[in-house]
Amino acid sequence: MKYTTAAVLMFVPIVAGASDFNGAQLGIAWGVPFVGVLLSIALGPLLVPSFWHQHFGKVTAGWVLAFIIPFLLHYGADVTIRLAAHTLLLEYVPFILVLLGLYTVAGGICVRGHLHGTPALNTALLAIGTFLASWMGTTGAAMLLIRPVIRANDNRKHQAHVIVFFIFLVANAGGALTPLGDPPLFLGFLKGVDFFWTTTHLFLPTLVLCGVLLAEFYVLDYYFYHHRGELRPKALDPTPDSAIRIEGAVNLIPLGVIIGAVLLSGFWHPNISWTVLGSEIELQNVVRDLLVVAAALVSLKFTPTAARAGNHFTWGPIIEVAKLFVGIFLTIIPVIAILRSGTDGVLAPLVRLVTDANGQPINAMYFWLSGGLSSFLDNAPTYLVFFNMAGGDPQILMTTTVTTLVAISAGSVFMGAMTYIGNAPNFMVKAIAEHRNIKMPSFFGYMVWSVAVLLPPFILLTVIFFQ
């Protein structure tokens, strides 16, 4: 049953002129605002740090207008409103609400006690976070553990490498084993991929990648700890010895509600929806969003003040992510449209790389292209593009062309770690670390780390699984 409330202007479907929009007709220039957002995020903090931190929202808004105004003049108000509403209502709002909910709830869980960042302890914390990421989401696991990891290393001179590997493992690679772990896999679940398909088929690639990264981290952290005059004088250690305990454990209940709400929206399909500005809003998604907001409000109400104080909780990081990602979500519209047009679009040469002369999928190229684009584009829509490019039939992809779906899934999840904007938790972790006065690498500085550390195991995965 579907309901359309035509009596209220806000709910009138905006469909006139929609057929005029075709990604195959778009030139490469339509991607300039999106590239502008990426370059601003990359270069702003490096070249004009004071200006950027004060005005990044305005800069992002400027790039959005650089896309919206020409698009409005070319395609008209109907198509522009319809596409913007679809992006904001169906993609950005649910995305940011789940992030907000997990950020709020996890920010109220404070792990206190004797946590001093030795190489063994840091490796154990990263391993725990990597495991949790598949079951409570990369965002949830990252928000739960980033502050304890920062506190554990607050008496060390070199901390940035710990946060970088935290992003690699907890905010990305660890989320590969269930649809709850990372948004691309959740979209696959909504398309019909079995819930535990990823658990069984991505287990070995995830084990290999995470095993290599944890080993690399231990060796590097051991070097810093023992050979670089790492520890500050004990008197300067901000974290005194005490028994380990969890403060704000009440937040485990709203955390469970958020996870359950996301899962519910995938299993429950009451076939009730409303049309808002041309976009179909389904009841299960409305319920999910309301439950997430309710969980966040309950967390704010019942979390002890000391727990948030112990986490140095502020709204700054989530506000920064919200402003930057609304720009990314809007300016990416024409880029995704071009990709979806396949061989008819301006990026046709890129699309042709994934199929051989006999029409068979080239799995290694699916892995690298889905991953390469996920490094800079939002990995959820990128996953959908390659999912559809591979046929879009979940039953065939889970059986006949199973390696292709593994390649798409692994590329989209794993390579989101290549840049700060490849996956939402990356930028949030960076923002939290910087709010705690940890000097993080610049956008390109981070890419030096990711290229040096991640590309060798990605090549290894290609040789073992995707030839």
Provide the angle, in degrees to the nearest 10, between the axes of the packed helices 316-331 and 93-106.
160
Q: Which residues contact 140 (CB under 8 A, 6 or more apart)?
A: 102, 105, 106, 132, 133, 255, 258, 259
Task: Name the burial class of residue 342, with classes exposed (0-12), middle (13-18) and buried (19+) by CB atoms within 10 angstroms of its CB.
Answer: middle
What pLDDT was estimated at residue 451? Answer: 96
Cα→Cα distances 317→153, 311, 424, Å: 20, 13, 11
Containing 281, the helix (H) or strand (E) segment is: strand 279-282
Q: Which amino acid is at 49?
A: P
What pLDDT was estimated at residue 325? Answer: 85
What pLDDT was estimated at residue 228? Answer: 60
Dihedral through CA 284, CA 292, CA 421, CA 411, nearest 10? -50
What pLDDT was estimated at residue 124? Answer: 94
Mean predicted lDDT score pLDDT of the chain = 85
pLDDT digits (tens, 9 = 90+) for 257-300: 998 898 888 788 899 999 998 889 999 999 999 999 999 999 99
Pinpoint the alpha helices (H) of 250-378.
252-267, 283-302, 305-310, 316-331, 333-340, 348-352, 363-374
Q: Which amino acid is at 304?
A: P
**Tally of CA atoms within 13 A in the half-sphere of 161 that contains its CB:** 22
**424, 325 contact by CB (below 8 A):** yes
Q: Distance between CA 293 and CA 282 in Å, rounded?
A: 17
What pLDDT was estimated at residue 293? Answer: 96
What pLDDT was estimated at residue 16? Answer: 37
What pLDDT was estimated at residue 267? Answer: 80
What pLDDT was estimated at residue 339? Answer: 78
Provide the angle, in degrees to the nearest 10, between the axes of the packed helices 283-302 and 252-267.
180
Consecutive 10-residue averages of pLDDT for the chain (467 residues): 35 39 86 89 83 92 96 92 91 86 87 79 94 87 87 85 96 91 82 87 96 96 78 53 77 91 85 90 93 96 90 84 88 85 81 80 93 81 79 87 94 93 85 88 92 96 93
